[in-house]
Structure 1
């Protein structure tokens, strides 16, 4: 039986059973979230516990971002969480999470939080880390699950946990994609049919870039395709080291993230693909040519012939 809890007191009263796993969301749940919850359910096991948090965090919204526009669909979110295997849904009000009003003490994302998404959305990652830290304290999980689609967020949470000694394991879950390659996102509901078609350029550019053999070629191919894509206003294309989101230059070896952001109509979308450079025995994904060629999840691989 899945229970809905609204307060920290109710959450603390939940009997702890086995391994506790948490999936943090801002609601408007979709199949990508369901994958996170199912993965958490598997790791928790039959004796463990899965808690899904649903909280639209006002600290993550900038001056030009419409907090009121963000969809609130708690009934549907609860149903999806229950179906995916959650034991509890924690859906607190703003004054429950921030009982003293806007918090005077907040976490700083530091230099990593000022790059890419942080440059476009100043203060966003400070607000994100502040609420994640609070929710980790409130839920006290053994494991916390986050999607690879928000790669910079994932990297910052991992760094926070390392730097501040949070007793939790952070588990990354691969991006879930539509059959045509579009990354699942709550923001996709804002796209008109024509805008959704234009948005496919993001994943197409990522997979095309991944076929190249050097960091420079990967970046340049993805950038060229996105600059040429109709109906899309490019924000950035970057190839970065996932440990700190600094630029991955041509001599880069090991893991990297090819990240893109663009505006389609009034909707801003992000996507990324994990890559590995060097002598790693993995196959590169084919550039998607039609619906049957598109992987359902972003896959780590080495670019090129022996990528």
Structure 2
């Protein structure tokens, strides 16, 4: 063979920018392990890149370097293709901080393959079972609700509904970064990977749900810090309802109320049901005491009061 199978990240992916928030994202699925280590490349406020097919991984960092210098995404793609003697076997897409998109599918990609550039997004796929994948991804993304991650996930779900990769499915990833260029390189909004799974898209959807709940919880923290108690409690309740298996949400919400706001009653109401059937309930209570001992709680006796209120 003229290539090693480990290079064959034949796959379907989407790169996109949210016009309201400026967030940039990539989502991808393939029948290879650890697709998240190869295909998606992103920098906050700079751009997002997906490099795939008989993959040239260097396209990722090279594209980001050019985007950082202010080169538009379409010109970046042109430059990448011009430098690669095997460009006919590559598939790559990029979006910049202004929402400009560039994409390329070499004629040597394994059928079915293709890409579609839409308004501030591009979907691309190769080695697909059917030629309907691109249209399905496009329609799903354009008609989905939710934040950028949820809409990109909808595109992956639609691709898999068309049978996706001809080999099947094995790994998936989804990353979203801020549109704020002042954010550090490592700062992410979503950074989720399913490195090996029988149902990678379904597992990715579960992780997106959990991460979305965490982000909602953080918005509640911000509202509470700003003095908007009712808004904070509503957001916290929304987060707990979306991810009831994340007992961390109820725990830290309760700690925040009991310590910083001396609202032990509401704190106990939130935490009590989360720990009711928790086999490690006593360990969680012990953690409350340890937070007090370590000086991480500001109010004296906050730990004892909360534990007593929990009963």
Tell me the TM-score normalised to structure 1 length: 0.27
TM-score using structure 2 length: 0.27
Larger helix proportion, structure 1 or 2? 2
Larger radius of gyration: 2
